[in-house]
Amino acid sequence: MVLSDLIVVLLAVGVVSLISVVGVVFLAVQKELNKVLFILVSFATGGLIGGAFIHLIPEAFELVGMPNFSIYLISGFLIFFITERVLHWHHCYEDVCEVLNFNYLILIGDGIHNFVDGLIIAIAFLASFDLGIVTTVAVIMHEVPQEIGDFGILVYGGFSNLKALLFNFLSALTAVIGGVVGVLLGSTIVGLEGTLLAFAAGGFIYVAGSDLVPELHKEHGLKKTVIQVVFVLLGVLIMWSIA
């Protein structure tokens, strides 16, 4: 059973890791991409919120119950916050960021983030195949704008195009390690699924509220606001439809 779970998880985290190469699109269509990047961020916001509230929270609550569920949920939120503060982990969605020459900090932060993503995906698949698919989709929706932004920042910070692409991909591969660790731990530690699903829900809520929503506020005008709302709702509806 562990072997079959491991194969499914490796396929899922492999797809997530490959998302890192979408940054190369940045080179070909940079101006056009910047115009629609807020749409991708809106979509990712809805996906993370929908994934957290429609899937992860109900499943985690059923597995661990109160009051442990609340503790794990808050812990996930706080740990993501602490990670961001300690590592100066920034999710910028433009090719200019306030802090320069922090490329390696970005890579370290994203490496940890991707490891956690792999861990969460693995635990979700161990809980149920459907929940694993939902979690993988939510992670991918978030990774697309993040990886495009990270690639632009690495190039802006002094990396060559090839070096930025290579290092970003290596950072993304930590998701594979997280997936393997998640399968091994989830298969041996009783009750781990509910704990990490609640933790993941807290992390998803933090990323959506702290990293993505502030980016949406940078766009102005009624037309863009309407588009943002539509794509946030679309992201939520996709998560709901999978349910």
pLDDT of residue 27: 60
* Per-residue confidence (pLDDT) for residue 53, from 0 to 100: 93
Say which residues have a Cβ less than 8 Å from residue 122's Cβ, sequence separation at least 6: 5, 9, 13, 178, 179, 180, 181, 182, 183, 186
CA angle 119, 120, 124 (to 5 degrees): 120
Is the model's pLDDT at 187 over the cut of 90? no
Q: Choose the weakest-confidence range: 4-13, 72-81, 101-110, 194-203.
A: 101-110
* Secondary structure of residue 80 in the 3-state scheme: helix
Nearest to 23 by CA among 143, 106, 131: 143
Cα separations (Å) of 203 from 1, 73, 117, 132, 150?
A: 28, 8, 10, 16, 19
**Quick one: the chain helix, strand, coil %, rounded to 5?**
85, 0, 15
Tell me, what's the pLDDT at 77?
A: 92
Nearest 5°: phi and psi at 109?
A: -60, -45
DSSP for residue 220: -
pLDDT tens digits along 36-70: 778 878 888 898 898 889 888 998 898 888 888 99
pLDDT reading at 92 higher than 60? no
78 band by pLDDT with thresholds 50, 70 and 90: very high
Q: pTM for the full model?
A: 0.74
